[in-house]
Structure 1
Amino acid sequence: MPETETHTATIKLPWSSPPLSMNDSGATRGAVFAKAGKITEIRLIMIGLARKAKLPKGVERATITLHYRPRDNRARDSINLAPTVKAIVDGLTPQKVVKTKKGFNVHPGYGFVVDDNTRHVSTPETIIHPAERGKPGALWLEITWEA
């Protein structure tokens, strides 16, 4: 049986705070479209970051952990970052074309992992680090996989 090697990558994200939160309201039609646009934007950014990091494609299993260092030490709930994690992971899966009543929707993706279900991706709880005096907020990913 061939040996597997564990690989890791750290990807710095371009946001100083999470772009999506469970606390975002979205009751209006306009808010729903705005959120969909933000999700697409996150996916496209992740494609570019995955290319820059030279991540492989078609990985069978990966662990993707979001880290967040806020600008201040107010109390935060890590579960509120779930929509950000979801959009990031979706950007690392293969592109999907979905048929709708009005045509087709293209969901962009890089193809790092073969799918985003729990057989292929583990997303542990987001790690919220203490703020660092004089530093802005920051987000980054720690990704591990075997090849």
Structure 2
Amino acid sequence: MQWTLDLPYDRPPLNANQRMHWAKKAALTKQVRAASFYAAKSAGVLRCDKVRVTLTWFVRTTTRRDADNVVPTLKALCDGLVDAEVVPDDTPDLMEKVMPVIVYRPGQQSGLQLYVEEVTDA
């Protein structure tokens, strides 16, 4: 099974270069977790033994961006999937987190998409 979750952001709300007060960061992290939770619930993501998660950031310009700066957003989104009971925890044996991907799409709207794929051990 696989699901594509459209997220309500045009850019990653959390990044590795941000310097903000801990309370503001905690509130933003909570918001991102909730967005992932509700996206998973509304898409009907089922409980799985193991999943592979890929975050894609669609951009409209060719400005240089560093994919690992997006990892804090991915972390919060994965925690939201745990909150939604997609998997019991986001440990490596239950959730494979793929490095975020940045895709240039000229003329289209920027946005974030979380791809969740059930992994079956063969």
The structure in which a higher percent of residues are strand is 1
Aligned to 1:136: 109
The structure in which a higher percent of residues are helix is 2
Q: Could you tell me the percent identity over the aligned residues?
A: 26
Structure 1 residues not aligned, in runs of 5+: 1-6, 94-108
One of 43, 52, 59 as aligned partner of 2:33: 43
Q: Find the structure with the greater CA-based Rg.
A: 1
| Structure 2: distance between partners of 1:80 and 1:141 | 16
* 1:2-36 residue CA offsets vs partner (Å, 9 max, x unmatched): xxxxx11111111000010001013xxxx110000
Please give the residue correspondences for 1:15-94 in structure 2 after superposition, counting only pairs within 5 Å: 15-26=9-20, 31-57=21-47, 59-93=48-82
Report if the CA contact (8 A) 1:66-1:140 is conserved.
Answer: yes
The reply on whether 1:127 has 2:101 as its aligned counterpart is: yes
Give TM-score, length-normalised by structure 1: 0.78
Displacement, 1:78?
0.2
Structure 2 residues not aligned, in runs of 5+: none
